[in-house]
C-alpha cells in the first residue's frame, strides 16, 4: 500500500502489520523539500503528519519503505536526500522522476540528463555506503549486468503482460501510470467481465522492434524503458522512454563502478560477485 501517511492511526498500522501488508510512505525528503512538494489543500505542511506515521510504523515493526518524487529542484539535493533516507531508518527507498506535471507545472519536470546525473550521484552515495538501505532499482540494474535481463517492469519487455491496475470504480488500466492518460488505455471494467478487459489488453502489445534500440548496448537490459514514459514523452508506446539519454549515462556509470569494484576486490554484494560481459 502506498500512502502519505497523514491519516494513518495505530489501529490501521496494526491491521497492516497483522495482515502482512508492506506500506510505502510517500515522502520527498526533509522538511525543506517536502514542504515545497507535498502540502495539504490549504497549503499547510504535511511533513509532521507523515513523519509521525513513519515513527508509528517503525515502532510497530511494519515493513516500511519510502517513495520520493524528484523535481528539478530536488535533483540538486542528492546529498541531503540520501542523508535524510538514512536518518529515517526505512528499510527500502525508491525515487521516481516528476513527469506528470508537464502541462501544469513545467518548472517541476525533470529533464533526461538531469535525471541521469542525479541518479548517478545517488547511486554513488548508495554503492559506497557500508550499510545502505535497499534500493530495488539499483540492485536490479546491477543484477541485470550479469543475468542479462531486469526484474523491474520499467525495463522489462513483459510490462504490458504482467500487470493490471484497477481503480476504485472498477475500471482497469495496464499500468498505474496510465490511469486516465488516454482512452486507449481504458481496458474496461471488472463489472463487465475480464474477457473484454483481456481482449483490449492484448491489443496494447508494444512493438519492441520498432522502438529504435537495436544499436544500443543496453537494449538487452532496458528494452526502450518504461512504456508509460514512452507514451508520456512521445504520445506513442512504440517509442523510447522519455528518460532514455539519462538511462544511458546511468547504466554506463553503474557498470564502470561495479567493474572497478570487482577489479579492486571490493565487491562484496552477491550481485557483483562475478564479472559482467557488456
Which pLDDT tens digit goes with each residue over 46-80?
Answer: 999 999 999 999 999 888 899 999 888 888 899 99
Question: Which stretches of the chain are DSSP H helices?
Answer: 10-18, 31-37, 47-60, 78-88, 112-127, 136-147, 159-162, 194-202, 219-222, 227-234, 244-263
* Contact of 179 with 190, CB cutoff 8 Å: no
- Which numeric CATH code is attached to 2-110? 3.20.20.70
- H or E element: which one contains 92? strand 92-97
Segments of the chain assigned to CATH 3.20.20.70: 2-110
Q: Residues 107-116: pLDDT tens digits?
A: 888 899 999 9
- Which cell goes with 210? 520498432
93: β partners = 66
Select from 171, 193, 240 the least CA-distant residue to 212. Answer: 240
110 touches 98 (CB < 8 A): yes
Tell me the C-alpha distance between 240 and 227, whole Å.
8
Average pLDDT for 149-165: 81
Q: Three-state SS for 277?
A: coil
What does the pLDDT look like over 223-256, one tens digit per residue?
999 988 998 888 888 999 999 999 999 999 999 9
Confidence of residue 275 (pLDDT cuts 50, 70, 90): very low
d(CA 65, CA 135) in angstroms, rounded, equals 10
Amino acid at each position: 500500500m502506498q500512502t502519505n501517511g497523514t491519516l494513518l492511526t495505530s489501529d490501521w498500522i496494526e491491521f497492516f502489520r497483522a495482515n502482512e501488508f508492506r506500506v510505502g510512505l510517500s515522502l520527498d525528503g526533509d522538511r525543506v523539500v517536502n514542504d515545497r512538494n507535498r502540502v495539504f489543500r490549504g497549503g499547510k505542511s504535511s511533513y509532521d503528519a507523515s513523519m509521525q506515521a513513519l515513527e508509528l510504523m517503525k515502532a510497530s515493526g511494519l515493513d516500511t519503505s519510502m517513495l520520493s518524487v524528484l523535481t528539478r529542484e530536488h535533483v540538486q539535493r542528492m546529498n541531503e536526500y540520501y542523508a535524510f533516507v538514512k536518518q529515517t531508518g526505512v528499510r527500502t527507498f525508491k525515487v521516481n522522476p516528476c513527469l506528470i506535471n508537464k502541462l501544469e507545472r513545467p518548472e517541476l519536470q525533470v529533464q533526461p540528463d538531469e535525471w541521469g546525473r542525479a541518479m548517478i550521484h545517488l547511486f554513488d552515495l548508495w554503492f559506497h555506503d557500508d550499510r545502505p538501505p535497499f534500493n530495488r532499482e539499483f540492485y536490479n540494474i546491477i543484477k541485470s549486468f550479469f543475468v542479462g535481463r531486469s526484474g523491474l517492469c520499467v525495463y522489462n519487455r513483459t510490462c504490458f503482460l504482467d500487470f493490471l491496475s484497477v481503480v476504485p470504480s472498477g475500471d482497469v488500466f495496464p499500468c498505474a501510470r496510465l490511469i486516465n492518460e488516454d482512452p486507449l488505455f481504458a481496458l474496461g471494467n471488472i463489472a463487465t467481465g475480464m474477457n473484454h478487459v483481456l481482449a483490449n489488453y492484448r491489443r496494447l502489445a508494444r512493438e519492441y522492434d520498432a522502438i529504435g534500440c537495436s544499436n544500443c548496448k543496453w537494449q538487452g537490459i532496458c528494452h526502450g524503458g518504461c512504456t508509460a514514459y514512452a507514451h508520456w514523452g512521445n504520445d506513442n508506446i512504440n517509442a523510447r522512454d522519455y528518460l532514455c539519454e539519462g538511462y544511458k549515462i546511468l547504466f554506463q556509470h553503474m557498470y564502470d563502478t561495479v567493474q572497478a569494484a570487482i577489479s579492486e576486490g571490493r565487491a562484496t554484494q552477491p550481485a557483483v560477485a562475478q564479472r559482467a560481459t557488456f
